[in-house]
């Protein structure tokens, strides 16, 4: 079991990993390197807390390096090489799995070439970070397939074309997750064809509602086995049982119905808890 990005207990003491600045402040000389340095120091503090509490799965914030990929104000990760190596060494010595889930703005299937190009820059940045930490293939970057311009088949084809053009070390970090837009039956055949591992998200599956019949976990697990990567699923539930689609999209503070949700959950799968109360819900 693990959680994502923010430790509620440590946040009370000002420990978090997403410090950033406004663009206007950067123009005036805000020290982005200092912000990134403190983010990395606090990441190590969070990982130490996780180790003490036997939590071995953690999704790192995509905001560790504010504006690092900006076309004007971006910067190299090389000054942080020793810190990144130390974080990776700590994770490996404590049998921790560190992952990323870049924002919804990373759209490899976009019809806008600029969006696609920026998305490639972002996913490459995430892969660079994991590489500099010295982390193995279980340290993945979870993506959603993206929008549906031109229809889902066309969007899936665009994603595949961009994916195929990525450097292997970047492409090998990418896994796909079912979401509110793309159900399991939409992306699983593509994942099997491209040998892209598929993250099964219980919450997205519940609110999407377009999958017919039971989920074939054997095929989902095959996408991981084909690449020799340990499977990873996401668990969360809606904040409200009834209500509008948008109401049901919101995650609850805790997982109150885990036994029912995980009734057919396969063994040997890492499970990311996507609840608002973070480590308190694990």
Task: Give the tens place of pLDDT for each residue, 21-39.
Answer: 999 999 889 999 999 999 9
What is the dihedral sign for C-alpha 39, 42, 234, 228? positive
3-state secondary structure of 1: coil
Pairing of the two strands 97-99 and 57-59: parallel
Given this model, what pLDDT does residue 212 score? Answer: 67
pLDDT digits (tens, 9 = 90+) for 196-222: 999 999 999 988 877 767 889 999 999
Q: In what order do the strands lie in the sheet with 174-177?
A: 141-143, 174-177, 198-199
Determine contact, residues 59/97, Cβ cutoff 8 Å: no
Residue 263 lies in a domain: no
Q: Give the chain's residues under pLDDT 50.
A: none
What letter does residue 61 receive in the DSSP assignment?
A: P
Q: Which domain holds residue 65?
A: 2-231+242-249
What is the dihedral sign for C-alpha 137, 198, 207, 202? negative
- Phi-psi category of residue 180: left, alpha or beta, with phi > 0 → left and psi -120 to 50 → alpha: alpha
Given this model, what pLDDT does residue 207 score? Answer: 87
Number of structural domains in the chain: 1
3-state secondary structure of 201: strand
Q: For position 140, which CATH number holds?
A: 3.20.20.150
Supply the pTM of this predicted model. Answer: 0.95
Q: What is the mean pLDDT of the chain?
A: 95
- Cβ-in-10-Å burial (0-12, 13-18, 19+) of 136 comes to exposed
Residue 192 lies in a domain: yes
Distance CA 172, CA 191 (A): 13
Distance CA 140, CA 100 (A): 6
What the block records as the tokens of 215 is 């989920």
Given this model, what pLDDT does residue 16 score? Answer: 99
Residue 58 lies in a domain: yes
* Maximum distance among all Cα pairs of the chain, rounded to whole angstroms: 57
Residue 264 lies in a domain: no
Residue 52 lies in a domain: yes
Given this model, what pLDDT does residue 76 score? Answer: 98
Residue 255 lies in a domain: no
What letter does residue 80 receive in the DSSP assignment?
A: G
Q: Of 240, 274, 242, 246, whose CA–CA distance to 258 is shortest?
A: 274
Given this model, what pLDDT does residue 238 score? Answer: 80
Determine contact, residues 277/253, Cβ cutoff 8 Å: yes
Residue 83 lies in a domain: yes
Residue 271 lies in a domain: no
Given this model, what pLDDT does residue 242 score? Answer: 64
Given this model, what pLDDT does residue 258 score? Answer: 87
């Amino acid at each position: 079991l693990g959680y994502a990005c923010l430790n509620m207990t440590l946040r009370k003491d000002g420990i978090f990993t997403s410090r950033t600045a406004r663009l206007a402040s950067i123009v005036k000389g805000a020290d982005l390197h200092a912000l990134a340095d403190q983010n990395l120091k606090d990441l190590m503090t969070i990982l130490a807390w996780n180790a003490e509490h036997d939590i071995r799965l953690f999704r790192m914030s995509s905001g560790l390096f504010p504006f690092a990929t900006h076309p004007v104000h971006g910067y190299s990760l090389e000054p942080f090489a020793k810190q990144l190596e130390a974080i990776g060494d700590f994770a490996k010595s404590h049998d921790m799995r560190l992952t990323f889930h870049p924002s919804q703005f990373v759209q490899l299937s976009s019809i806008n070439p600029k969006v696609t190009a920026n998305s490639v820059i972002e996913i490459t940045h995430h892969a660079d970070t994991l590489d500099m930490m010295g982390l193995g293939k279980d340290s993945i970057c979870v993506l959603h397939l993206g929008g549906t311009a031109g229809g889902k088949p066309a969007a899936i084809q665009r994603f595949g074309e961009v994916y195929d053009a990525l450097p292997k070390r970047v492409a090998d970090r990418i896994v796909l997750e079912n979401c509110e837009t793309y159900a399991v039956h939409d992306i699983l055949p593509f994942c099997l064809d491209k040998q892209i591992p598929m993250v099964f998200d219980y919450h997205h599956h519940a609110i999407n509602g377009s999958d017919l019949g039971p989920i074939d976990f054997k095929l989902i697990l095959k996408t991981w086995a084909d690449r020799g990567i340990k499977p990873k699923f996401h668990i969360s539930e809606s904040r409200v049982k009834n209500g509008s689609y948008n109401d049901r999209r919101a995650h609850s503070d805790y997982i109150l119905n885990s036994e029912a949700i995980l009734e057919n959950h396969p063994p040997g799968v890492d499970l990311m808890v996507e609840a608002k109360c973070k480590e308190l819900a694990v």
